[in-house]
């Protein structure tokens, strides 16, 4: 999962970045509204966390610009302006969720998880479930037939992405784009290695390889 | 309240009455004067005729009946005489059984004398010297018919005067109400302003009212602007305080602090207190209260947005409904009302199993907002405690109590009241009663 964090307060951004990276997200950070307006629309993010009081361009305008440009990425507004009138304004501009500062990091993580599930049509699940697997995003482990399987951070990130896109064909480059932030080295071989690890832990049939096309997560749906 | 119209009418009526009465009365008096003057000369002629009728006969002086006018012979004809010689006196036959009393001075007597059959006599005395002796002649004439016609004239004048007064009053009313129409229009617009049906007064007013209207509009704009600016400043202040606070809250969850549970605990509780205090005070400071007379909340346009926001926050599993009369506008600031409803509905959504309903209706004393949910509700014994929680600022309030605190602030600012009861949906019913603004 690749997130864009737009926040101009550096200490808070540092805190958020650290927390989000611990949660296994690839995060790009921007502090200026104009940069955000451009980069949010061009890079393939899975979710955007947007502060409203930004230098360069107000967050609301950035959001309106994205939405009028047809961007459908879920956007979570994170702001100190917590009145209901402002909340309504934010959601009217096209936000998917609204959190007011200060907040607990755990709550933010839960909101991000549920927003991502909702964005992928899995709205009414307390946990991410797909193909008989239950992903515990807090503990970064997966349950299969009632038995808990431990995952490494990289495996967790990959499996979460697969589970949110169950049944879809995902190319290696697509996976690399969504699993690594803008500054990491993208090596598609690494993905291959992690796919193999997941197969070893959860069974071969769980991820199907389509030659020259990519992977398809199906799990043991049968 | 005194009305300009009534004051003008009262002034006009009294002036017209006084002037009219004076005029009518004095013209009648003058007419009476001149008429009496004219009658005096005819009465004088009459005495001379009578004097001519006094002739010397075989038995001394006698009255020549043939020279007397017929009116002196018909009883109570209205014309009478009395001739006093030194040792005898004659009286006209018309006097019949009445006596014509003598008057002291020569000329016309000022006061009218009483005659028979309600007659009012005008008495004239003339003194002559003839045949070597004084002859005093009194002539009386009935003045009653003239007095009657005077009172008739008086009645006619009164009637004319009254109808003229009524006509003048009607015309004056018409003129004044025409002249005051812009004032009435401004008054109506102010009422609409008070009820939140408009936010500015019309600029198209007569020259005399223009400064007033311009000043009111300026004040309205100024108040709105000040409110906007102070809200913006509060937003900035909130931003400046809450962002570092968010950093602190985040830092307090660090792994390193997990080793020191006590420190972490007190850190968290202090941070929470700061957070709540800031939220409450900023919320309170944001309130427009009754500052803006033109403020209004249009149910049909605001509620759908509020409800879609709530749906977004709480998910699709809740059935959220609202009911309000079509076109209902509440005369309070939009942001205040959104804050009030947002907090109450948010609470209801947190506790509800499947349903939350909002009813807004106009009652005689103001407006009533009812929020129902089908959650667990609050036990009767605890309701007062929940309501009083958060009523004091320095109290520590937890979770949803804070929302209720802000709700209380808003309701208090409007002079309304908040009640908790059992809902027909089995959950909690929160009723907010808001009185109409004083006009």
Q: Is A159 in the B-facing interface, judged by CB distances under 8 Å?
A: no
Q: Which residues of B touch A (CB under 8 A)?
A: 235-236, 238-251, 253, 271, 275, 279, 283, 286, 305-306, 308-309, 312-313, 315-317, 334-335, 338-339, 341-343
Burial of B415 (0-12, 13-18, 19+ CB in 10 A): middle
Per-residue pLDDT, A67 = 92
Query: Which of B31, B13, B391 minimizes the C-alpha distance to B168?
Result: B13
A79, A92, A106 ranked by CB distance to B305: nearest: A92
Please tell us whether the domain made up of B297-435 is placed in CATH 3.30.565.10: yes
**pLDDT for residue B370 is more than 90:** yes
Q: Helix-strand-coil percent breakdown of chain A, rounded to 5?
A: 45, 20, 35
Q: Which residue of B has its CA nearest to A12?
A: B247
Per-residue pLDDT, B406 = 82
| pTM, rounded to two decimals | 0.68
Contact check, Cβ <8 Å, B253/A53: no
Per-residue pLDDT, B341 = 92
What residues of chain B lie within 8 A of the CB of A101, using their CB? 239, 242-243, 245-246
What is the least distance, in Å, from the CA of A79 to any CA of chain B?
8
What is the least distance, in Å, from the CA of B6 to any CA of chain A?
48
List B422's β-bridge partners, or say none: B428
Q: Which residue of B has its CA nearest to A99?
A: B313
Q: Which residue of B has its CA nearest to A16?
A: B250
Per-residue pLDDT, B22 = 93
B396: left (phi over 0), alpha (psi -120 to 50) or beta: beta
What residues of chain A lie within 8 A of the CB of B316, using their CB? 123
What is the spatial distance between Cα B326 and Cα B296, in angstroms, rounded to a whole number? 15
Query: Which of B392, B328, B394 minimizes the C-alpha distance to B366?
Result: B328
CA dist list (Å): B22 to B28, B34, B146, B163 = 10, 18, 21, 17
Per-residue pLDDT, B167 = 93
CB of B125 closer than 8 Å to CB of B106: yes
**pLDDT for residue B398 is more than 70:** no
- A 56-95: CB under 8 A from B: 79-88, 91-92
What residues of chain B lie within 8 A of the CB of A81, using their CB? 235, 238-239
Per-residue pLDDT of A12-48, as tens digits, reads: 999 999 989 888 888 999 999 999 999 988 888 999 9
**pLDDT for residue B376 is more than 90:** no
Identify whether A217 is preceded by a cis peptide bond (ω within 30 of 0). Answer: no
Mean of pLDDT values over B142-159: 90
Each domain of chain B, given as residue ranges in start order, spans 2-147, 223-285, 297-435
Mean of pLDDT values over A86-108: 88
Q: How confident is the model at residue B395 (pLDDT cuts 50, 70, 90)?
A: very low
**pLDDT for residue A7 is more than 50:** yes
Q: Is A107 in the B-facing interface, judged by CB distances under 8 Å?
A: no
Per-residue pLDDT, B1 = 53
What is the spatial distance between Cα B52 and Cα B126, in angstroms, rounded to a whole number? 13
Mean of pLDDT values over B63-76: 85
For the record, the structure tokens of B4 come out as 């300009």
B238, B316, B343 ranked by CB distance to A123: nearest: B316
ipTM greater than 0.90, yes or no? no
Q: How confident is the model at residue B400 (pLDDT cuts 50, 70, 90)?
A: very low
The total of other beta-carbon atoms located within 10 Å of residue B347's CB is 22
Q: How confident is the model at residue A219 (pLDDT cuts 50, 70, 90)?
A: low
Q: What is the mean pLDDT of chain B?
A: 85
Mean of pLDDT values over B29-34: 92
Contact check, Cβ <8 Å, A84/B238: no
Q: Is A72 strand, coil or helix?
A: coil
What residues of chain A lie within 8 A of the CB of B275, using their CB? 102
Contact check, Cβ <8 Å, A105/B250: yes
What is the spatial distance between Cα A55 and Cα B327, in angstroms, rounded to a whole number? 40
Contact check, Cβ <8 Å, B243/A16: no
Q: How confident is the model at residue A222 (pLDDT cuts 50, 70, 90)?
A: very low
Per-residue pLDDT of B302-326, as tens digits, reads: 899 999 888 888 877 888 999 888 8
What residues of chain A lie within 8 A of the CB of B249, using their CB? 102-105
Between A and B, how many residue pairs show a Cβ–Cβ distance under 8 A?
93
Helix B334-351 to helix B399-413 angle (10° resolution) is 150
Q: Is A103 in the B-facing interface, judged by CB distances under 8 Å?
A: yes
Per-residue pLDDT, B393 = 41
Phi and psi at residue B324, to the nearest 5°: -155, 150
For the record, the structure tokens of B106 come out as 């020569």
What is the spatial distance between Cα B310 and Cα B342, in angstroms, rounded to a whole number? 8
Per-residue pLDDT, B432 = 92
CA dist list (Å): B51 to B45, B54, B66, B73 = 10, 5, 13, 17
Per-residue pLDDT, B30 = 94
Query: Which of B328, B322, B376 minimizes the C-alpha distance to B352?
Result: B376
């Amino acid at each position: 999962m690749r997130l864009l964090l737009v926040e101009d307060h550096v200490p808070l951004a540092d805190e958020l970045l650290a927390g989000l990276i611990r949660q296994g997200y690839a995060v790009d950070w921007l502090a200026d509204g104009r940069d955000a307006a451009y980069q949010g629309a061009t890079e393939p993010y899975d979710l955007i966390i947007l502060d409203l009081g930004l230098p360069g361009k107000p967050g609301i305008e950035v959001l309106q610009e994205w939405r009028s440009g047809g961007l459908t990425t879920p956007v979570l507004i994170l702001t100190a302006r917590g009145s209901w009138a402002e909340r309504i304004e934010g959601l009217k501009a096209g936000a998917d969720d609204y959190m007011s500062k200060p907040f607990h990091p755990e709550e933010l993580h839960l909101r991000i998880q549920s927003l991502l599930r909702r964005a992928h049509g899995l709205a009414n699940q307390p946990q991410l479930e797909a193909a008989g697997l239950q992903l515990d995003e807090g503990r970064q482990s997966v349950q299969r037939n009632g038995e808990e399987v431990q995952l490494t951070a990289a495996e967790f990130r990959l499996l979460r992405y697969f589970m949110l896109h169950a049944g879809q064909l995902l190319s290696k480059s697509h996976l690399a784009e969504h699993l690594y932030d803008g500054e990491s080295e993208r090596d598609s071989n690494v993905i291959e290695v992690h796919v193999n690890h997941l197969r070893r832990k959860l069974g071969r049939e769980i991820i199907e390889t389509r030659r020259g096309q990519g992977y398809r997560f199906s799990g043991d749906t049968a | 309240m005194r009305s300009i119209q009534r004051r003008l009418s009262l002034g006009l009526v009294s002036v017209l009455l006084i002037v009219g009465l004076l005029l009518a009365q004095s013209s009648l008096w003058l007419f009476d004067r001149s008429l009496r003057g004219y009658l005096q000369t005819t009465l004088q002629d009459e005495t001379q005729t009578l004097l001519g009728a006094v002739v010397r006969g075989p038995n001394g002086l006698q009255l020549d009946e043939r020279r007397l006018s017929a009116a002196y012979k018909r009883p109570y004809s209205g014309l009478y005489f009395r001739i006093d010689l030194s040792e005898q006196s004659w009286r006209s036959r018309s006097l019949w059984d009445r006596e014509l009393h003598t008057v002291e001075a020569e000329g016309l007597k000022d006061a009218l004398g009483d005659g028979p059959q309600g007659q009012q006599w005008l008495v004239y005395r003339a003194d002559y010297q003839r045949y070597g002796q004084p002859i005093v002649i009194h002539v009386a004439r009935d003045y009653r018919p003239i007095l009657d016609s005077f009172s008739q004239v008086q009645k006619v004048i009164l009637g004319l005067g009254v109808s003229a007064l009524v006509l003048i009053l009607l015309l004056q009313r018409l003129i004044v109400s025409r002249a005051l129409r812009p004032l009435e229009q401004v008054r109506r617009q102010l009422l609409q302003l008070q009820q939140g049906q408009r936010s500015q007064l019309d600029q198209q007013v007569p020259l005399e009212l223009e400064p007033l209207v311009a000043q009111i509009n300026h004040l309205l704009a100024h108040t709105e602007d000040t409110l906007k600016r102070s809200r913006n400043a509060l937003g900035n202040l909130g931003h400046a305080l809450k962002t570092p606070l968010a950093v602190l809250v985040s830092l307090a969850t660090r792994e390193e602090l997990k080793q020191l549970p006590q420190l972490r605990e007190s850190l968290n509780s202090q941070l929470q207190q700061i957070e709540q205090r800031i939220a409450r005070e900023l919320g309170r400071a944001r309130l427009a209260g009754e500052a803006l007379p033109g403020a209004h909340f249009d149910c049909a346009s605001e509620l759908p947005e509020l409800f879609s926001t709530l749906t977004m926050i709480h998910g699709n599993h809740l059935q959220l409904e609202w009911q309000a009369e079509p076109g209902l506008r509440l005369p309070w600031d939009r942001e205040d009302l959104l804050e009030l409803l947002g907090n109450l509905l948010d609470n209801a959504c947190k506790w509800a199993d499947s349903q939350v309903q909002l009813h807004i209706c106009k009652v005689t004393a103001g407006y009533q907002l009812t929020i129902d949910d089908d959650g667990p509700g609050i036990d009767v014994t605890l309701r007062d405690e929940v309501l009083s929680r958060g009523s004091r600022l320095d109290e520590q309030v937890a979770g949803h109590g804070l929302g209720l605190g802000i709700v209380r602030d808003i309701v208090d600012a409007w002079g309304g009241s908040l009640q908790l009861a059992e809902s027909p949906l089995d959950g909690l019913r929160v009723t907010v009663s808001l009185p109409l603004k004083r006009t």
